[in-house]
């Protein structure tokens, strides 16, 4: 019973963590796009986005990450045999990648605070898809567990990533054509 309660807390943490990461990077995109506005509008928008970004990262996303990690470690403590399974080791590797992603988002926030961010909105959109790719990979590993064929999983993972990046490129082209049409 205690394991299931811990697992529930872990899932709630994961959902909150990913929601925070998805929205956080979208706010980065909006912050950068505000640079194309008039000076007054840019200052107002970017100031507001900075507040939203800081609060989201500090009050929602990072605490959700901590809850996820504590509950995940708790689950492994209650069921240490999970560490002997290949799917769990692969999941932990992906979670390590997600922790790097989270840390890098914090780095981008510091760059925003120092007015040093150089990332273009399109690059930030692509960066946003990294979390999506990690989410899909982690969910498939957890659901399919030992029935997961690594080769087919890797191929599917790569195809999914290519489709996501192609969609982002298509969207960028579409936005450019709409902007030139409006002028």
Q: Which residues are annotated as a binding site for heme?
A: 10, 91
Output the CA–CA distances (angstroms, integers) from residue 154 to 4, 12, 85, 86, 168, in the order listed: 30, 27, 18, 14, 21
> In 62-134, at which residue ranges do the beta strands (DSSP E only) sit?
none
- The full DSSP string for 16-80 is HHHHHHHHHHHHHHHHHHGGGS-HHHHHHHHHHHHHHHHHIIIIIIHHHHHHHHHHHHHHHHH-G
Residues contributing to the annotated binding site: 10, 91
CA–CA–CA angle 117, 105, 89 (5° rounding)? 145
User: How far is Cα 103 from Cα 118, in angstroms, rounded to an integer?
Assistant: 18
């Amino acid at each position: 019973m205690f394991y299931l309660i811990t697992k529930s807390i872990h899932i709630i943490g994961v959902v909150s963590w990913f929601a925070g990461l998805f929205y956080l990077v979208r706010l980065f995109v909006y912050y950068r796009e505000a640079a194309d506005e008039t000076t007054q509008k840019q200052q107002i928008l970017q100031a507001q986005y900075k507040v939203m970004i800081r609060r989201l990262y500090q009050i929602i996303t990072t605490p959700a990450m901590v809850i996820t990690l504590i509950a995940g470690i708790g689950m492994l403590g209650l069921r240490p045999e999970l560490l002997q399974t290949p799917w769990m080791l692969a999941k932990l590797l992906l979670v390590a990648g997600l922790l790097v992603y989270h840390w890098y988002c914090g780095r981008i926030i510091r760059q925003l605070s120092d007015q040093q961010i150089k990332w273009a909105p399109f690059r930030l959109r692509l960066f946003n898809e990294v979390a999506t790719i990690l989410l899909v990979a982690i969910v498939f590993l957890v659901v399919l567990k030992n029935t997961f064929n690594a080769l087919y999983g890797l191929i599917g993972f790569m195809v999914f990533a290519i489709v996501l990046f192609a969609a982002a490129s298509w969207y960028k082209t579409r936005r450019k054509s709409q902007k030139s049409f409006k002028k």
